[in-house]
């Protein structure tokens, strides 16, 4: 039986084996799909992440927002949850416990997950039902658990970013797993059943 740990190990190894040129090219294609969808223009408060461990590079998404005078938000790891702070530039960031740069905690600018409209989410694997396998820390699932209490998916919309090689046939979801609304790879956009198509 293939376990989540097995899948995580296999795909992380595959992802780290991709050449920098392939990662760059495919990340640009993914950003192009996201920009072409209109999501970045219709959402007011958008969060993304800085890539780590071979994840999809979000540089082009941040550049698109910055050129339009928009502020993107980055996750801030605190007490097993994620808060979000404005991405004001590399000089304002500092590494968290995993070595990933994040904004400082500021009572005036930090944002609760419920206040966001759209979140681009990193992942290790996803399946056709919108289930997501992360790095195993559970931060995104705990932070967005409030969405599980709603009869229809609540804001913010969660969009997974991944390379096509991270798509798997099936992931065994747990009750606490928060599903994605869509995932974007270099091949295009996957919208998942059970979510209103007009919202994405």
Mean pLDDT of 150-168: 88
pLDDT at 196 over 60: no
Weakest-pLDDT range from 159-163, 174-178, 195-199 = 195-199
User: What is residue 107's predicted lDDT score, i.e. its pLDDT?
Assistant: 65
pLDDT per position as a tens digit, 33-52: 999 999 999 899 999 999 99
User: What is residue 50's predicted lDDT score, i.e. its pLDDT?
Assistant: 93
pLDDT at 200 over 70: no
CB-based contact 125:110 (threshold 8 Å): no
Pairing label, strands 132-133, 125-126: antiparallel
Task: Name the residue ranges covered by the structural domains of the chain.
Answer: 4-199
Mean pLDDT, rounded, of the chain: 89
Pairing label, strands 125-126, 188-191: unpaired
Name 102's bridge partners: 94
Question: CA–CA separation, 37 vs 66, rounded Å?
Answer: 18
Q: What is the DSSP letter of 48?
A: -
Model confidence band, residue 56 (pLDDT cutoffs 50, 70, 90): very high
Rounded percentage of the chain residues whose pLDDT exceeds 90: 64
Which contiguous run of DSSP H or E holds residue 14?
helix 4-16
Q: What is the DSSP letter of 104?
A: P
User: What is residue 101's predicted lDDT score, i.e. its pLDDT?
Assistant: 87
Size (the chain), residues: 200
Burial of residue 58 (number of CB atoms within 10 Å: 0-12, 13-18, 19+): buried
Q: Give, in words, the CATH class of 4-199.
A: alpha beta
pLDDT per position as a tens digit, 77-127: 888 889 999 887 666 788 888 888 888 877 666 788 999 999 999 999 999
pLDDT at 2 over 90: no
Question: CA–CA separation, 183 vs 87, rounded Å?
Answer: 23
Question: CA–CA separation, 180 vs 113, rounded Å?
Answer: 15
Burial of residue 137 (number of CB atoms within 10 Å: 0-12, 13-18, 19+): exposed
Name 119's bridge partners: 47, 158
Its pTM stands at: 0.90
pLDDT per position as a tens digit, 117-147: 999 999 999 999 999 999 988 999 999 999 8
pLDDT at 199 over 50: no
Alpha helices in 17-138 (DSSP H): 20-37, 39-42, 59-67
Model confidence band, residue 149 (pLDDT cutoffs 50, 70, 90): confident
Question: CA–CA separation, 189 vs 103, rounded Å?
Answer: 29
């Amino acid at each position: 039986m293939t376990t989540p740990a097995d899948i995580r190990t296999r795909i992380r190894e595959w992802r780290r084996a991709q050449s920098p040129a392939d990662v760059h090219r495919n990340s640009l294609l993914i950003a192009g799909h996201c920009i072409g969808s209109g999501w970045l223009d219709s959402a007011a408060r958008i969060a993304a992440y800085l890539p780590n461990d071979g994840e999809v590079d979000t540089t082009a998404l941040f550049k698109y927002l910055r050129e339009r005078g928009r502020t993107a938000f980055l996750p801030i790891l605190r007490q097993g949850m994620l808060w979000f702070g404005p991405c004001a530039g590399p000089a304002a960031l500092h590494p968290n416990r995993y070595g990933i740069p994040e904004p400082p905690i500021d009572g005036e600018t930090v944002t609760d997950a419920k206040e966001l409209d759209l979140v681009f989410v990193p992942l290790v694997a996803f399946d056709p039902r919108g289930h997501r396998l992360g790095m195993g820390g559970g931060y995104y699932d705990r932070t967005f658990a409030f969405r599980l209490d709603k009869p229809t998916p609540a804001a913010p919309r969660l969009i997974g970013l991944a390379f096509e090689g991270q798509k798997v046939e099936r992931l065994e979801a747990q009750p606490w797993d928060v599903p994605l609304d869509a995932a974007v790879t270099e091949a295009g956009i996957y919208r998942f059943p059970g979510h209103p198509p007009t919202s994405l």
